[in-house]
Structure 1
């Protein structure tokens, strides 16, 4: 009897799990009628962000957390894009859902709420005493009600903006959870019109570059199709095979970099132009990763820090509880690997341990750099450090990129063909080149 009871409980958990995250063949196609369901997570999540900026809301945040997690998982994994070229968007949904859940965990499980730098409680600077009532009820004249209503309305708008800022803040600039996160120096003009002009041109540049890189990747057999294929072509001699795979690898990495820049520029332009954000609130998303001369510098400064807090919540904090700073380091990178791989489950292409293994390896790599510094008294750096970084990112990372391509990453539609100059011009150039070669 106890065994049957336990089995029933476990079956119930499994059924609930599959309700939120069905088997790939049981997922619901995304159509206009189900789009509201795919966005339903935002309401409880935004309310949770609002509560995280209100004092004495710890209990209600804890009670709201399961709803946020359940709706977020269902929104990302229960519904799917069924057109093969759009399958990569399912991966994007999974990645976004994992970020939202990490934020929700931090908002709900931090007893004091999420504080800005210099606050002792939400919306209360350090050293500022709470306003206390004298115990007397105030009598409000009719003429005084309108200013009070305006004041309440202004407070509501301010609270809404505060929650919106928190919900969308990734690097934690100005927030306590962002202390220690590297943010690149501002390099664009701080005058609004000049900033918008420079950002628009940057967006166009990276749009065209991403379009070109994506179109080139799609020329490779297998790799460039939604069905996917390995970038290690077994029919080629080993030297040529790795020259081709390295080329695809560099193209893919460059496309990812261009995509980050393009999307960030678009968001910065919209925020400054439409929402009156200050240009200074949009520092560069990357800090020139090509110049990294150690893996520590690469991951801590040069690469984007948008997901740092996500990995810390999932792995860094639990790792610290288990094994201190070393555990935090290892846990953060293990979480990074699982983050990337769990999300790709949404594409219905299975689980590949190669991806988590690469990211998990970064923890020991950084520990090795620390051992080098302790043993030699010098940090990893210079041209030797640059070779070290490139050997890891251009050689050891190839199986990870290959894993993504085998599952259709390269065949996904990033830039729609009807706005893609490269998808129009490149095939013409290829046909002209082939015709020239055949003529000879």
Structure 2
């Protein structure tokens, strides 16, 4: 698909290939009880639909005809001429691989669409690391180690919580606790889960970045941060459109945003995108053999409604949601209203799943035994 979409007059061929892509993706993913594989399955399907329906192909930014630009797409992105960015004009192994294969691979692995037509308007977090290769690699190694340790400590802590840390799952709401304590505990578990998600995204992204820059000679500017400190968001629009990762933006637009806009304009675009996100996160857990839980798509639909509410507030008052009150609003929506979402996941075994193998876990090898010894 990625090859064909860069070739002229292939629209019909891509439409005919699409059913095979969808069926084989579902078959290979739903034969294993693995949430992450099922997540990737739906990403593949979304990308396949997008490539199949792109009537004139996928263009690099600034490219008038698909397949005519020889430089990488990231070189076409505005602002790519940063210090230390000279290598972005060429690809590693560019003399070994034909241009069509280079383009197909680049498009295949592009999630945010940096430098591609479908990536126009995607927010890219500002660089937080040196753009010279060696300092960049050192900073990325440090970031990887920090994210790894945070994720390890949080995961090990969650696995100590009765029920929640069980592979078969358990609720974050403990009915035998009094009301204030019950929700203090659930809020703590919910926040720890959020920290694990942020650290996990960062850890995996750092690892891929290290491989790409160190061994594939990618430019550091080709790997901007995956998130922009989501804890600092002062509105839900800022949180979802800028602070949170944009890796699945195109997936949700394909599944819900674009059809929603055709049905209901901009409101349909927002609600369709968030509803697609909800069904995406819920359908994938069926690959683990778990039951359906409507609280997951409902949470994301409420988030879409809240984002629309922010637009109404701005049009009514002339002021954007922001500042300290805006941050409280974000925390209310994500930390309080998000607890049923996380409870739905933990009830079905999220906390008991293995993320970091025990033999590679400093928290379980050193930290937890040391704390237990001190307590004893």
* Partner-residue secondary structure (3-state), 1:121: coil
Distance in 1 (CA, whole Å) between partners of 2:202 and 2:261 is 32
Distance in 2 (CA, whole Å) between partners of 1:427 and 1:298 is 34
Distance in 1 (CA, whole Å) between partners of 2:367 and 2:288 is 28
Is structure 2 residue 38 aligned with structure 1 residue 94? yes
Deviations 1:192-230 (A, max 9, x none): 111111111111111111000100000100001101000
- The alpha-carbon deviation at position 430 of structure 1 amounts to 4.6
Matched with 1:137 is none
- The alpha-carbon deviation at position 121 of structure 1 amounts to 1.9
TM-score of the superposed pair, with normalisation by structure 1: 0.78
Is structure 2 residue 172 aligned with structure 1 residue 231? yes
- The alpha-carbon deviation at position 405 of structure 1 amounts to 0.3
- Whether the 8 Å CA contact 1:316–1:329 is kept in 2: the answer is yes
CA distance 1:199–1:331, shift in 2 (3 Å) = same
Equivalent runs, 1:40-439 vs 2, <5 Å: 48-77=1-30, 79-81=31-33, 90-124=34-68, 157-432=98-373, 434-435=375-376
Distance in 1 (CA, whole Å) between partners of 2:102 and 2:62 is 19
Matched with 2:91 is none
**Moved segments of 4+, more than 3 Å:** 153-156
TM-score of the superposed pair, with normalisation by structure 2: 0.91
- The alpha-carbon deviation at position 425 of structure 1 amounts to 2.5
Deviations 1:218-248 (A, max 9, x none): 0100001101000101111111111110110
* Partner-residue secondary structure (3-state), 1:193: helix
Matched with 2:76 is none
Over the residues paired in the alignment, what is the CA RMSD in angstroms? Answer: 1.3
Distance in 1 (CA, whole Å) between partners of 2:367 and 2:167 is 19
- Whether the 8 Å CA contact 1:215–1:426 is kept in 2: the answer is no
Distance in 1 (CA, whole Å) between partners of 2:179 and 2:374 is 26
- The alpha-carbon deviation at position 117 of structure 1 amounts to 0.7
From the CA coordinates, give the structure whose radius of gyration is larger.
Answer: 1
Distance in 1 (CA, whole Å) between partners of 2:196 and 2:95 is 44
Aligned residues: 352
Distance in 2 (CA, whole Å) between partners of 1:164 and 1:327 is 33
Which is further off, 421-430 or 297-306?
A: 421-430
Distance in 2 (CA, whole Å) between partners of 1:75 and 1:278 is 34
Deviations 1:161-217 (A, max 9, x none): 111110111111101101111010112111111111111111111111100010000
- The alpha-carbon deviation at position 160 of structure 1 amounts to 1.0
- For structure 1, which runs of at least 5 residues remain unmatched after alignment? 1-47, 82-89, 126-152, 436-440
- Whether the 8 Å CA contact 1:52–1:113 is kept in 2: the answer is yes
Distance in 2 (CA, whole Å) between partners of 1:358 and 1:332 is 13
CA distance 1:154–1:197, shift in 2 (3 Å) = closer
- Whether the 8 Å CA contact 2:261–2:269 is kept in 1: the answer is yes
- Whether the 8 Å CA contact 1:54–1:113 is kept in 2: the answer is yes
- The alpha-carbon deviation at position 154 of structure 1 amounts to 5.3
